[in-house]
Amino acid sequence: MHPKRLFIKDFIYNLPEEKIAKYPLPQRDESKLLIYKNGAIKSDIYCNLDTHIPDSSLLVFNNTKVVEARLLFKKSTGTTIELFCLEPGDQYPDITTAMLQKKKVTWKCLVGGAKKWKEELLKISFVINAHTIELFAKKIEKKNDYFLVEFFWNDEQLSFAEVLHFAGAVPLPPYLNRNAEETDKERYQTIYAKYDGSVAAPTAGLHFTERLFEKLSVKNIRTDFVTLHVGAGTFKPVKSETMQEHEMHTEFIEVRKQLIENLLQHLNETIIAVGTTSLRTIESLYWLGVKTIINPDILLHELQVLQWDAYDLTTEEISVEKSLLALLQWMNKHDSEVLITKTQIIIAPGYDLKIAHALITNFHQPQSTLLLLVAALVFDDWRKIYDYALANNFRFLSYGDGSLIWKKQAG
């Protein structure tokens, strides 16, 4: 069945409020780990993950860094206007470029209290090393789903990423129903986070510690990294009856040539995506390679993965190896060591994984595209997995426990 015809009502399960983890465990790698393989389920803890993965496997992580994307401005009347920074304006080629802007930058924002924000400038003041910094927000234009806002500040040495760090707050997921606390600055961030740009953490990675990485290394389990900047669209509910009417969110990805070469070297080994964002990124690479085969002269701004490409493109006889080699050839032709583009790929039942053999992930909300992604790996067994987790006191969502899910063999 084409995923367009999937009914979202078939992906409902009852998630009691008390099952949602409001806070993380004191020790990251002591979270519970559900292991699913061809219908069989067992449980352990993350610290023992190495015992459930074959030697010489490759784990692919997302090294994006969560930015303090919530800005609270107070008007002279005392009214609070909240700006939630979604993504940069279209004039920037990527998020990193926009984050490094100095003096001013344009951003797409959600606005809380928008009706109370007329045309006046909003201002936040904060102090760095006894120097008062003033950050201003100017409303440029209202769009359908967001406002275009220009930010400018009075210290030309500070990048926008630094401004957000001092002036903003961690954007915790709405389903936690609490304000961010000081501890969230460290815990709602993976220990390997590197590149500023996400408004939500790649939560599967929150369970990894130096101790766990050391255990993986001893077993010759390799690690590598992609960068997908997680947007607020990751929390976007599916409101349409079928998936055909749902518009999948688009996100920036950055992938190095070395990562693609590493994937090629491990095609006959085991490749595991740590998190849905890592999975979406490496699976997108296959379709990007297919596009370079179909059109060797394709330009960078055209080389993107659209929502239904994975189901509509003709790929007969295009192996993963052939596709990834073609993508490398295209990058060499364009003297590019890093591919920066966008993906809108939707992975749902009906999609056959091209590169990954397994997924490490947390437990997701009912009727979400993330739950559809899990179902793409295990078909109807997603319900068996979630029933087990609910019955065995696993903690759900961003700060909850997680799972190692192996792709189920058809038939």
Domains of the chain: 3-65+189-406 (3.40.1780.10), 69-169 (no CATH)
Query: Average of pLDDT values for 360-385?
Result: 96
- Name the pTM for this structure: 0.94
Quote the CA–CA distance of 391 and 405 in Å, as a whole number: 18
Query: What pLDDT, on the 0 to 100 scale, is given for residue 231?
Result: 79
For the cut 80, the answer to whether the pLDDT of residue 411 exceeds it is no
What is the predicted pLDDT for the residue at 316? 78
pLDDT at 232 over 80: no
- In the numeric block, which tokens belong to residue 199? 């408004």
What CA–CA distance (Å, rounded) separates 231 from 210?
27
| Structure-token match 């899990």, residue found | 374
At 152-168, the pLDDT tens digits run 999 989 999 999 999 99
CA–CA separation, 183 and 21 (whole Å): 15
Confidence of residue 55 (pLDDT cuts 50, 70, 90): very high
Where does the pLDDT of residue 207 fall: very low under 50, low under 70, confident under 90, or very high at 90 and above? Answer: very high
Query: Percent of the chain, pLDDT > 90?
Result: 84
* CA–CA separation, 3 and 354 (whole Å): 17
**Band of pLDDT at residue 119, cut at 50, 70 and 90:** confident
Q: What pLDDT, on a 0 to 100 scale, did the predictor assign at position 144?
A: 83
Nearest to 107, CA basis, from 130, 83, 131: 83
- Going by the DSSP 8-state scheme, the letter that residue 355 receives in this structure is S
How many residues can be counted in the chain? 411
Highest mean pLDDT among 63-67, 127-131, 311-315, 406-410: 63-67
- In the predicted model, what is the mean pLDDT of residues 160-178? 92
In the predicted model, what is the mean pLDDT of the chain? 94
